[in-house]
Amino acid sequence: MAAGTEVISPRRGAFGSVLAVLILLLIGILAFSIRLFSVIKYESVIHEFDPYFNYRVTQFLTKSGIYEFWNWFDDRTWYPLGRVIGGTVYPGLTLTAGTMWWIANALNIPLSVETVCVFTAPVFSAYAAWATYFLTKEIKGTGAGLTAAALIAMVPSYISRSVAGSYDNEAVAIFALILTFYLYVKTLNTGSLFYATLNALAYFYMVCSWGGYTFIINLIPMHVLLCIMTGRFSSRLYIAYAPLVILGTILAALVPVVGFNAVMTSEHFASFLVFVILHVTALVHYIKRILTPKTYRMALTMVLTIGTVGALTLVAILVALVAASPTKGWSGRSLSLLDPTYASKYIPIIASVSEHQPPTWPSYFMDINILAFLVPAGIIACFSPLSDSSSFAVLYMVTSVYFSGVMVRLMLVLAPAACILAGIALSEAFGTLTYSIKYQQIPTLSNEPVSEEKTTALKSAIDSSFKSVVPKDSIKEKTKVEGDEKVKEPVKEKTSKRIRKKEKEIAEKHVEKQVERKPLVLPLEASAVGIVLLILLGSFYIHCVWAAAEAYSAPSIVLSSQMSDGSVHVFDDFREAYAWLRHNTDENDKVASWWDYGYQTTAMANRTVIVDNNTWNNTHIATVGMAMSSPEKEAWEIYQSLDVKYVFVIFGGLVGYPSDDINKFLWMVRIGGGVFPHIREPDYLRDNQYRIDSMATPTMLNSLMYRLSYYRFAEATMDGNGYDRVRRTEIGKKHFKLAYFEEVFTTQHWMVRIYKLKPSKNRQRGKNKRKTKAVSKKITRKPIKSLKNPWSS
């Protein structure tokens, strides 16, 4: 559309495109700067858990180079198993940040790796906003594109995952996702092989970046299928899809973490099926063209009959096969495909992550706000008229709504769709409104009484002629009319008195009319709707800024609270503990903690951990869970068998930090119990209630987690009663000594407590050895099952 304008009226087109570029630039700046609240309010630091791993990988990449990176076997995690990092990460983010760092340093701009990592997400959200502009422009034109870009620049859902410091795969993946969609739609609109190739490359980038690429490789086939079924098959569709499948699959298989999964797993099955269907359709179209209608009909009937018979036999064979297998052919994976909540319901390790839970309604309002109400309007706008590209937008919207309903995390995929459709809706609405402003004069003029004075008629004729010349711009017109009057002044002097008198009258009337007409330039209904929309947008903007500043900027490793006198108190306990571990323990010591803190420990404390957030080995995690839920002695033996020197727990009872290990403890029990049946959840619950007070079960009170968390806690509380400020209760067992562990460090607010395993006693050695063996045997005997969440980063 912009291109069209460009060629038709070059100056206006140029002005328009310059304006659009300027607006896009501002949108980019907005997208970047709205995400800097975390840096301003806290500091330039990597956030949360996974980003620390990515940061560490990036550090390794920049230090050792790309080849070392592919072959990197990390022995500082999953001790003693280790982890092949190069083959198990999505390298897109790391390579992107590494390249950015490399370019900056090649230009002698000495940015640290950390700085580059912190600002990767904001930079890529600006790119994502621009990609959204192009995608929406392909669907519904420049205006919609600009609106959608502005919306995605500040939609809270996306901000939540891309604030400065949130150095996670999603940061670049959303950009890659939108870019892929844009190039697909562009290819669909132009039928150009050039864009098709670019599309495959964008898809490759997406595969590199995020496990969510399966969304693309399912959504695009779905759209192609939709187009075929609604009779929209064209060569453009073929060009848009066939190269993507071939090139995309080959490229995807190059990414080590995907590899042969690109052709072997069920996530990719749909794309190949549709690929076949597309070719069949193309063949049918070809045959239809070369055959006469009559022969074609005959051929069709024949094929259909044979096809039906063939299909029926195939189905019969399949049914027989499935019926013969004991599980009826349904594996957990296919179940989780059919019922996406399956994994989060029955696999505790996935269920224990809060972002894998289904979202609540308020979270929709929080994350996409008024867009949720604009989306239906956008869908309607997409149907008038329905094109290939607008049907894609609708399909994208519908599927992403479904997925966001499964997992909170996938809200992120919904955000671009919502922004595109809301952008379309708003653009259409404002388009209509401004349209009605433009043409508002007509009814006024035609309503004018014909029986007015001749000069009046002349006037209106003049006016109308003016309008015919410049009907576009009402403001311009007004000024012109006024200017016209000014021109008239000197002429008036010459005329006779009679005419002058008349003229005066007319002039007065004219002025009156001008005054009358002014409010009509902005029609009431249109302006009311416009104002309502503007107010809505204003409140959306305020909401976004609020969300960016207050809700989504906390780095979670630094906590802060407002004191009564208005000053801010900082809880920096995590880094205190990690720094202590880093500087005051031996470099080869092994540190055990719950897996949430694995990435942070390797990155910040530079110590070997037993389990981390990668959660690839359930048994290993279960072992740590078992140790945490066992009594001190058994726990000591388990840890000793794992060569662990230090154990730390997160404890929030003193300052009231709710997401501590005691609150996560039930998950440890469940995960541990999932592999080691002697850990039973009911043992830790009293009447199905999780409690740590005097009513708690002895198993609970003797578990390592309880003891490490509450060791000498009662003495630290005000009157020695051991009041836990998170659980809001007095703890059950107050005074006890640790026999197998010793406290070596506790942070200022007691949030991290580090314990050291006491050295084994001489006379127990033989006994220990036997036990250790038993435990390690237990570990190795279990089949190593990798549980992969399709969306895991």
Partner 1 sequence: MELSRPSLLPSCALIFLALLASPWWSVHSAEDVVITKVDRRIDLTSHIVRTSASIRFENKGSSDTTKVLFALSSAQAERLAYLAAIVLEGKGKSKTQSDPVAVSQVSFQSAPRDIVLYSFSLNKPLKRGESAIVEVNYVLTHVLKPFPEEIKQSDVQLVVYLDNAYLLSPYVVKVQTTTFKLPRSRVESFTKLDASRLADSELKYGPYENVAAFSHQPVTVHFENNQPFAVIKELQREIEISHWGNVYVTENYHLMHGGARHKGTFSRLDYQARPSASGVAAFNRLFAKLPPRAHSVYYRDEIGNISTSHLRSDNKRTDLLLEPRYPLFGGWQVTFTLGYGVPISDFLFYSKDGQRFLDFTFGSPISNAVVDKLVVKVVLPEGSKDPVVSVPFPVEITHERKYSYLDTVGRTVVVLRKENVVPEHDVHFQVYYKFNNLALLAEPLMLVFGIFCFFIACIAYMHFDFSISKSSASYQARLQREEVADAIQRLQKVMNVRAAVTDKLDASLRDLARTGDVASCKAARKAAEATLKETAKEVKSIQEALQASSRAASVLLKVDSLIQKEKEKQDKLLQKHSLTVELYERKLSSKDIDNRIAPYQQKLLVLTQEVSDLLHAIDD
Residues 480-509 that bind partner 1 (CB under 8 A): 491, 494-495, 499, 503
Instruction: With CB under 8 A as the rule, give the number of residues binding partner 1.
Output: 65
Sequence-separated (6 or more) residues with CB below 8 Å from residue 673 = 625, 629, 679, 680, 681
When the beta carbons of 569 and 785 are compared against partner 1, the nearer one is 569
Q: How far apart are CA 725 and CA 658, in angstroms?
A: 9
Give the separation between CA 396 and CA 415, rounded to whole angstroms: 11
Angle at 556 between CA 550 and CA 559, to 5 degrees: 75
Does 579 sit near partner 1 (CB under 8 A)? yes
- Residue 491 or 515: the one with the smaller Cβ distance to partner 1 is 491
Q: Does 744 bind partner 1 (CB under 8 A)?
A: yes
Tokens of 47: 């956030």
Contacts of 169 (CB under 8 A, 6+ apart): 50, 54, 90, 92, 93, 209, 210, 211, 793
Q: Which of 16, 256, 405, 471 binds partner 1 (CB under 8 A)?
A: 471
22 lies in the site for partner 1, by CB under 8 A: no
Contact call for residue 521 and partner 1 (CB under 8 A): no
Token pair for residue 149?
């870009």
Q: At what angle do helices 169-190 and 193-209 cross, to 10 degrees?
A: 160
Task: Give the burial class of 264: count Cβ atoms within 10 A of its Cβ; 0-12 exposed, 13-18 middle, 19 or more buried.
Answer: exposed
Distance in Å, CB of 338 to partner 1, minimum: 44
CA–CA distances in Å: residue 740 to residues 470, 643, 712, 752, 759: 90, 14, 15, 19, 8
Nearest CB to partner 1, comparing residues 8 and 324: 8
Packed helices 235-254 and 213-229: angle between N→C axes, nearest 10 degrees? 160
* β partners of residue 757: 741
Task: Please identify which residue in 384, 447, 451, 564 interacts with partner 1, judged by CB under 8 A.
Answer: 451
CB of 107 to partner 1, least distance (A): 7
Site for partner 1 contains 747 (CB under 8 A): yes
State the minimum distance, in angstroms, from the CB of residue 333 to partner 1: 39
Residues numbered 106 to 165 that lie near partner 1 (CB under 8 A) are 107-110
Nearer to partner 1, 333 or 500 (CB): 500
Q: In the bound complex, what is the minimum distance in angstroms from residue 5's beta carbon to partner 1?
A: 7
Nearer to partner 1, 44 or 265 (CB): 44
Selected binder of partner 1 within 189, 464, 697, 768 (CB under 8 A): 464
Task: Verify binding: residue 450, partner 1, rule CB under 8 A.
Answer: yes
Tokens for 504, please give them: 């005066």
Q: Smallest distance from the beta carbon of 651 to partner 1, in angstroms?
A: 11
Q: Residue 720, interface with partner 1 (CB under 8 A)?
A: no
Q: Show the site string, 409-448: x = touches partner 1 by CB under 8 A, - = not.
A: ---------------------------------x--xx--
Range in contact with partner 1 (rule: CB under 8 A) among 284-292, 382-390, 392-400, 450-458 = 450-458
Q: What 3-state DSSP class applies to 385?
A: coil
In single-letter form, the type of residue at position 115 comes to: T
* Cα–Cα distances in angstroms (integers) from residue 201 to residues 123, 183, 214, 498, 705, in the given order: 20, 10, 15, 80, 49
> Interface with partner 1 includes 5 (CB under 8 A)?
yes
Which DSSP helix (H) or strand (E) runs through 647? Answer: strand 646-650
Q: Cα–Cα distance between 392 and 414 in angstroms, integer?
A: 14
Examine residue 385 and tell whether it contacts partner 1 (CB under 8 A): no
Distance CA 202, CA 173 (A): 10
Least separation in angstroms between residue 712's CB and partner 1 is: 5
Q: Which of 453, 473, 505, 550 touches partner 1 (CB under 8 A)?
A: 453
Question: 88 vs 112, which CB is nearer to partner 1?
Answer: 112
Of the pair 325, 447, the CB lying nearest partner 1 is at 447
Q: Is 694 an interacting residue with respect to partner 1 (CB under 8 A)?
A: no
Strand 752-757 to 741-746 pairing? antiparallel
- Measured from the CB of residue 8, what is the shortest distance to partner 1 in angstroms? 6
Is 44 within 8 Å of 164 (Cβ atoms)? yes
Sort 681 into a burial class: Cβ within 10 Å, 0-12 / 13-18 / 19+. middle
Least Å distance between CB 454 and partner 1? 2
**Site residues (CB under 8 A) for partner 1?**
1, 4-5, 7-10, 43-45, 107-110, 442, 445-446, 450-458, 460-462, 464-469, 471-472, 491, 494-495, 499, 503, 557-558, 570, 572, 575-576, 578-580, 583-584, 604, 712, 715-716, 742-748, 750
